[in-house]
Amino acid sequence: MSLAHKISIFPEAAVVARELATEVADALEENPSLVLGLPTGRTPLLLYEELVRLAGTGRIDFSQATTFNLDEFLGIPASHPGSYRSFMQAHLFDHVNLDPQRIHFLNGAAANPFDECCRYEKAIDEAGGIDLLILGIGTNGHIGFNEPGSGLAARTHRVTLKPETRRSNAALFGNDPDAVPAEALSMGMGTILDAKAVVLVATGQRKAACVEQLVTGPITTQLPASFLQLHKNVEILLDAAAAARLQE
């Protein structure tokens, strides 16, 4: 089975970021109260740089927008330098005119993680759902922190991270994979698939294999991103390196 959605390939990651930033700017122009879903990781860094630049020129206005991040480590507070919240503050939130009241994040230090996941699902519902969800992809095909396995959780939930995922997040924790929390909270596959529009971004040669599987392989819990094949409005933005294993 192949993914019938729109796939765009650009020569390099910086062009992908510019393209997506323009898409976000246009979406915000059309709907200033846009509800955005946001990822972390190295991939969106260039996007956030570009969004900050566009906000500086007045091309983007985030003042009425709402954001929900996909996931957060469990067992560390938002103020921890390795938290995804700290990452987002440093790379986007501190530099644009988002209303802090409309920035939503999973609390990795919540006393009751289950209640925290329910709270998050409710907050997404109350915001009217996510209009535009931007996703990266892990080298093992995970999206958010939905890891490959024999099953996938539908809604926001608590997850145990795979060793490769802890390794790829080690940069946030002094390059020590053992210092990366073993668990996290993440939107579930259903939460992701409920977004009205999804854009998945993958850049670099490390992503070529999972992109190939995502585009040409079957829907399988072993590659959580493959479930995007079920969504009606998915766009995949790639640089040439990530697209290297796709046929012309």
Question: Catalytic amino acids?
Answer: 71, 140, 142, 147
- Under 8 Å between Cβ of 153 and 117: no
Subset of 120-139 contacting ligand GLP (CB under 6 A)? 136-138
Interacting residue with ligand GLP among 169, 172, 228, 239 (CB under 6 A): 169
Instruction: Specify the residue, 42 or 91, whose C-beta has the smaller distance to ligand GLP.
Output: 42
Coil, helix or strand for 11?
coil
Cβ neighbours, 10 Å, residue 12: 12
CB of 40 to ligand GLP, least distance (A): 5
Element holding 76 (H helix, E strand) = none
> Of 87, 145, 173, 227, which lies in the binding site for ligand GLP, with binding defined by CB under 6 A?
145
Sheet with 71-73, strands from edge to edge, namely 71-73, 183-186, 157-160
As measured in angstroms, the least distance from the Cβ of 242 to ligand GLP is 10
Does the footprint of ligand GLP cover residue 144 (CB under 6 A)?
yes
Nearest alpha carbon to residue 228 among 206, 202, 195, 203: 195
Residues paired with 36 in a beta bridge: 67, 132
DSSP lists the bridge partners of residue 53 as none
Neighbour tally for 223: CB within 10 Å: 19
- Which residue, 39 or 217, is less far from ligand GLP as judged by CB? 39
β partners of residue 102: none
- Name which of residues 68 to 97 contact ligand GLP (CB under 6 A): 70-71
Tell me if residue 204 falls in helix, strand or coil: coil
Q: How many residues bind ligand GLP (CB under 6 A)?
A: 15
Rounded to a whole number of angstroms, the minimum distance from the CB of residue 189 to ligand GLP is 13
Residues 35-64 that bind ligand GLP (CB under 6 A): 39-43
Q: Which is nearer to ligand GLP, 43 or 156 (CB)?
A: 43
The answer to whether 174 touches 244, Cβ cutoff 8 Å, is: no
- Supply the minimum distance, in Å, between the C-beta of residue 201 and ligand GLP: 8
- What does the binding site for ligand GLP look like in residue numbers (CB under 6 A)? 39-43, 70-71, 136-138, 144-145, 165, 168-169
